Amino acid sequence: MEATMRPDTRATDATLRLLSRDWAGLVIALLPAAAGAWCIALGSGWRVLGGVLCAAALALALGSLRHLVHVARVRVRHPPPGRMVDLGGHRMHILAEGDRGTRPTVVWMPGGHVGGYALYPLHALARERMRSVLVDRPGSGWSDPGPFPRTTAAEAVELLAVLERGGEKGPYVLVGHSFGGLLMANAARRRPDLVSGLVLLDPTPPDAIAFGPPVPALRRAAGQQIAIAMRRLFGLHALADRNGAHASEDPAQVLSAVETSAKAACAAASILRELSPDGITRDGWHTVVHDGDLDSLPLLLVAPRDLTGGDEIFDAVDARENARVRHFFLTVRERFLATSSNARRVYTPAGTGHDFPNQVPEFVVQVVSSFLDDCAAGTPNPP
Question: Which of 28-32, 245-249, 253-257 has maximum average pLDDT?
Answer: 28-32
Distance CA 310, CA 331 (A): 14
Asked whether 287 and 151 are in contact (CB, 8 A), the reply is yes
Share of the chain above pLDDT 90, in %: 70
Asked whether 380 and 335 are in contact (CB, 8 A), the reply is no
Would the pLDDT of 242 be above 80? no
Residue 21 host element (H or E) = none
State the pLDDT at residue 316: 67
Distance CA 87, CA 144 (A): 10
Asked whether 4 and 152 are in contact (CB, 8 A), the reply is no
User: What spatial distance separates the first Cα and last Cα of the chain, rounded to whole Å?
Assistant: 37
Share of the chain above pLDDT 70, in %: 91
State the pLDDT at residue 218: 78
Distance CA 11, CA 148 (A): 11
Would the pLDDT of 240 be above 60? no
State the pLDDT at residue 306: 85
Which one-letter DSSP state was computed for residue 99? -
Q: Residue range 253-271: average pLDDT?
A: 94
- pLDDT, tens digit (0-9, with 9 covering 90-100), for 125-184: 999 999 999 999 999 999 999 999 999 999 999 999 999 999 999 899 999 999 999 999
φ and ψ at residue 198, rounded to 5 degrees? -135, 125
Asked whether 94 and 107 are in contact (CB, 8 A), the reply is no
Distance CA 374, CA 380 (A): 4
**91 three-state secondary structure:** strand
Would the pLDDT of 5 be above 80? no
Mean pLDDT for all residues in the chain: 90
Provide the residue type at 378 as one letter. Answer: G
Residue 42 to residues 39, 58, 93, Cα–Cα distance (Å): 5, 20, 51
Q: Which residue blocks in 44-127 are alpha helix, DSSP H?
A: 46-77, 120-126
Q: Residue range 351-370: average pLDDT?
A: 96
- pLDDT, tens digit (0-9, with 9 covering 90-100), for 48-104: 999 999 999 999 999 999 999 999 999 999 999 999 999 998 999 999 999 988 999
Asked whether 372 and 365 are in contact (CB, 8 A), the reply is no
279, 254, 276, 269: which is closest to 20 by C-alpha? 269
